[in-house]
Amino acid sequence: MSGGDAKKLVRSPSGLRMVPEHRAARSPFGLDEPPWVPDKECPRCMQCDTKFDFITRKHHCRRCGKCFCDKCCSKKVPLPRMCFVDPVRQCAECALVSQKETEFYDKQLKVLMNGATFFVTLGTSDKSELMVCRLSSNQRYLVLDGDSHYEIEIIQISTVQILTEGFTPGGGNTRAIGMILQYKVPGSEEVTQMKFTAGEDFNCNRKLSASWLAAMHKATKLLYESRDQ
């Protein structure tokens, strides 16, 4: 592990977290810990309105920071977006969101890191290049390798449009065949566009490409959420 990707174990009121030593090295999909609602400001459960007393104790959801009774905040669910080492207590609503995100971290993140092959067109060029596209192991760069080599910093990506075919009025039977990516060039306000198209020949696995694009679509949603926090 390089020095820039080194991590450290820290203890917060919410639990143990394994975080990058330098904030600049954090995952672009990560979330900051929320401030907890002060105890004095929540005399009742913020879900069921039960009054807190010596018997009914209050608990803070580690994802939203709100106060709940044990009944409304009993689930302990993994929360990798905040780098928690162990599953942490979350309210029912947040636990559901975190459980859905688990699929991204357990499956789709690996798909992105393993990569897929696309024909890549830069800007307005009419020439495309066959390239292997993958997410770097530290989740911070989209790496493209072919005759050329590109490393696009994830936080510089401004828009991602997934291209599909086989559209029907009901939205069924569609499949992802490519994407259009726009990103800012570091040090300037210039926006560059890249088009990714899944190939038709035997060197390009269309099913793998579609899975990679689906994972990229989910990653984009998480990226936007992290920015809006």
Residue 73 is predicted with a pLDDT of: 95
**Residue pointed to by tokens 């689930």:** 75
Residue 177's contacts (CB-CB under 8 Å, 6 or more residues apart) are 163, 164, 165, 197, 198, 209, 210, 213
CATH number at residue 68: 3.30.40.10
**Residue pointed to by tokens 């897929």:** 116
Same domain, 210 and 120: yes
Q: What is the pLDDT of residues 59-80, one digit of tens each?
A: 999 999 999 999 999 999 999 9
Residue 3 is predicted with a pLDDT of: 45
In a domain, 25, yes or no: yes
User: Is the pLDDT score of 2 beyond 50?
Assistant: no
Residue 1 is predicted with a pLDDT of: 37
Question: Which residue range(s) make up the domain with 25?
Answer: 7-111
CATH number at residue 199: 2.30.29.160
CA distance 96 to 42: 23
Q: What is the pLDDT of residues 129-148, one digit of tens each?
A: 999 999 999 999 999 999 99
By DSSP bridging, strand 116-122 and strand 128-135 are antiparallel
Contact 117, 204 (CB under 8 A): yes
Q: State the CB neighbour count (10 A cutoff) for residue 146.
A: 16
In a domain, 1, yes or no: no
Q: What is the pLDDT of residues 169-212, one digit of tens each?
A: 555 667 888 999 999 988 888 899 999 999 766 455 788 898 99
Joined tokens for residue 169: 């009025």
CA distance 104 to 219: 8
